[in-house]
Chain A
Amino acid sequence: MSRRLSGRRVIYIVYAAIVSIAALMGFILGTINPEGMDPTLFFVVDLPATPVGMVIFGVSTIGLGLGALLLLVAYVADRYDDAELS
């Protein structure tokens, strides 16, 4: 029937989409720069409340968080996933 895509590729695209949304959010908030915004990356690195700073904040937080999930997926899928394609 329809074409088949590699699952990984689909997931990379979803991952990229979500991280871009985080980046966009950071960019918009950084541009607006509301009062009291004080991004601190992973509770240690102080970032400036600028578009660049906020984009870094959004991309690193969400990117690494979801990235860790994907690494775990890759690890588990290679080792324990025996439901092979027929």
Chain B
Amino acid sequence: MGDMASGQIAITVLMGLLLVVVAALLTRIENWRSYAPTAGASSLTGEETSYGHSEKPGGITRWLTTVDHKDIGILYGAFALVAFAVGGIMVVLMRTELMWAGEDIMSASLYNSLLTSHGITMLFLFGTPIIAAFGNYFVPLLIGADDMAFPRINAIAFWLLPPGALLIWGGFLIPGMEAAQTSWTMYTPLSAEQPMIGADLMILGLHLTGVSATMGAINFIATIFTERDEEVTWANLDIFSWTMLTQSGLILFAFPLLGSALVMLLLDRNVGTTFFATEGGGAILWQHLFWFFGHPEVYILVLPPMGLISYIIPRFSGRKLFGFKFVVYSTLAIGVLSFGVWAHHMFSTGIDPRLQVSFMAVSLAIAIPSAVKTFNWITTMWNGKIRLTTPMLFSIGFVANFIIGGVTGVFLATIPVDYLLHDTYYVVGHFHYVIMGAIAFAVFAGIYYWFPIYTGKMYQKALGKWHFWLTMIGTNLTFFGMLILGYLGMPRRYATYNLVSVGPIDLFTILHQSATIGAFILLIGQLVFVWNVVSSWLYGRRVADGDPWDLKDDALYSREFRWHERRMNDDLVLADGGASDDGSEES
């Protein structure tokens, strides 16, 4: 009881602190205004995006006060990569524990905490923010806008993330506190009854990141609808912006629902409401609410990466994206359908079989637009002349891994198969083929493809290739092993497998060890990546070319590189204080 009371006090204090922080931020807005590139009426007159650097304060103040979409994009990117590292280290610890069958390097409860935090970190602190990084930096450039529609809301949305992250990791950071062990799905009654305050902190943090994502989504929608250059019509809006727009729509419907459900869970935990208690709404209510958010969330994470792939593949195949319209339609179709499949995560909870069949049908249907996209990517490459640059390698890797992830997903959506494989490592294998094998691959492709724009430098090509091959091999070793483990009946979410009575331990050990070795290979690959990014950014050679990928040769030059070229020219003439003409032409 005393525990409960002190828990509530701690939360009240935290909430109070949060309010103070927000209030302090709000009072700073006046100060931000003077740095805002779009301050005052000039935002309406469409000034050049490449305003000089001199308007910005220097050093750390610049980064703390910026409302420039490019700076905020960089902030999102840096934040997301730090989160990727944190989530990655967590999972390396977990995989090390799973090298051997017993409880070897950590307790089962620590394992569960890491498991929970790994999932939430990767989805909400890496996945959504890294997409927002690309969106912030490049959507305004691609659509010819001066900035996002609401630059200051943009900044607030970003600055909600670090406190969110601290809360989510609070259970690890605050000495003497235990971290949540609910897994990312936070199923009740477990999540309602787990006593540790770490779980409350995590739920609050998750709530903040949800608010952040929602604010970002509103901003993207407003920007793409209202801030497009006259030349950019709906008909020639680029594919990446289309996917950002659809994704933002999904966020708008999905995240507020998660937020409400999280508040209900907090209330159940702390003030004795019974939303999800057996005598109240029941535990299944949580699952419905969670998955009504949760399935769209997986498409929130995959659509913009698909957009990146659709954007990059043509540029290294020397031809236009095949069937552009169909790629857009399939994006919209996925957006709509993704709200109609949530119960395929709940087949084994005993919901009405007739309902199950209809959810199975929609789940199989949603594979069709994904297949359409795959078809279009392959057709684009078919008659193309491929340049195997690092971004292209990652794009091809995306297609390969996405096919494996998609096929394994279709099997799972078939009810009898799901009964066998639900809650086994097969599911873990399936979604990691998509999330790591595809989504993260697209992120890397984007990072390399646009590296010259946001750093002004070129990355080291040999290291890029090393990064690709280590990541490709590591991913397939790890998650292939998991598919087989799942098929043999290894249940997910266990720190040990010596007590599991469903399978042969020796075999499980070998498969787990190969998955762990795969994870180590992945780790090495990511170290190469970090080294490459940091050293190239700091010491790499300057890109002197406005067309580093030779896109003009194939008539595939695009707006963001035109902007990049113009900025380089501006920098050259900045000394004269003159503005340069737009020297590039679209061929």
Contact = CB atoms under 8 A, between A and B. Distances in A.
Interface residues of A, number: 35
Contacts, number: 94
A81 B388 contact: no
Contacts of B488: 32, 34
Contact of A10 (B375, B396, B476): B396
Contact of A77 (B382, B484, B550): B382
Contact of A7 (B374, B382, B489): B382
B261 interface: no
Contacts of B550: 1
A45 interface: no
A64 interface: no
A52 interface: no
Interface stretch (B42-50, B171-179, B313-321, B575-583): B313-321
B484 A11 contact: no
Contact of A66 (B389, B403, B483, B553): B403
Nearest to A74: B382
Contact of B319 (A6, A21, A65, A83): A83
Contacts of A7: 317, 381-386
A3 B381 contact: no
Contacts of A74: 382
Interface in B366-399: 371, 374-375, 378-379, 381-389, 396, 399
Contacts of A47: none
Nearest to B387: A2
A76 interface: yes
B445 to A, nearest CB: 15
A40 B487 CA distance: 17
Contacts of A41: none
Contacts of A4: 318, 385-387
A71 to B, nearest CB: 11
Contacts of B553: 86
B322 interface: yes
A18 B375 CA distance: 16
Interface residues of B, number: 39
Contact of A62 (B318, B386, B407, B489): B407
A2 to B, nearest CB: 5
Given A32-B507, A34-B489, A85-B319, A14 B379 contact: no
Given A5-B388, A62-B407, A73-B382, A14 B400 contact: yes
Interface in A34-86: 34, 62, 65-66, 69-70, 72-74, 76-77, 81, 83-86
A29 B484 contact: yes
Nearest to B484: A28
B387 A86 contact: no
A69 B387 contact: no
Contact of A5 (B320, B386, B487): B386
Interface string B229-256: 0000000000000000000000000000
A43 B388 CA distance: 40
A81 B407 contact: no
Contacts of B384: 7, 85
Given A2-B387, A85-B554, A77 B379 contact: yes
A10 B322 CA distance: 17
Contact of A18 (B319, B400, B487): B400
B382 A8 contact: yes
B388 A2 contact: yes
Contacts of A17: 400
Given A77-B322, A85-B318, A86-B555, A6 B385 contact: yes
A70 B378 contact: yes
Interface in B471-505: 476, 480, 483-484, 487-489, 503
A60 to B, nearest CB: 14
Nearest to B389: A2
Interface string B351-377: 000000000000000000001001100
20 contacts: A1-B550, A4-B385, A5-B387, A6-B385, A6-B386, A8-B383, A10-B386, A10-B396, A14-B400, A25-B484, A29-B484, A65-B407, A69-B371, A69-B378, A72-B375, A73-B375, A73-B378, A81-B322, A83-B320, A86-B553
Closest 6 CB pairs of A and B: A4-B385, A7-B384, A7-B381, A83-B320, A77-B382, A5-B386
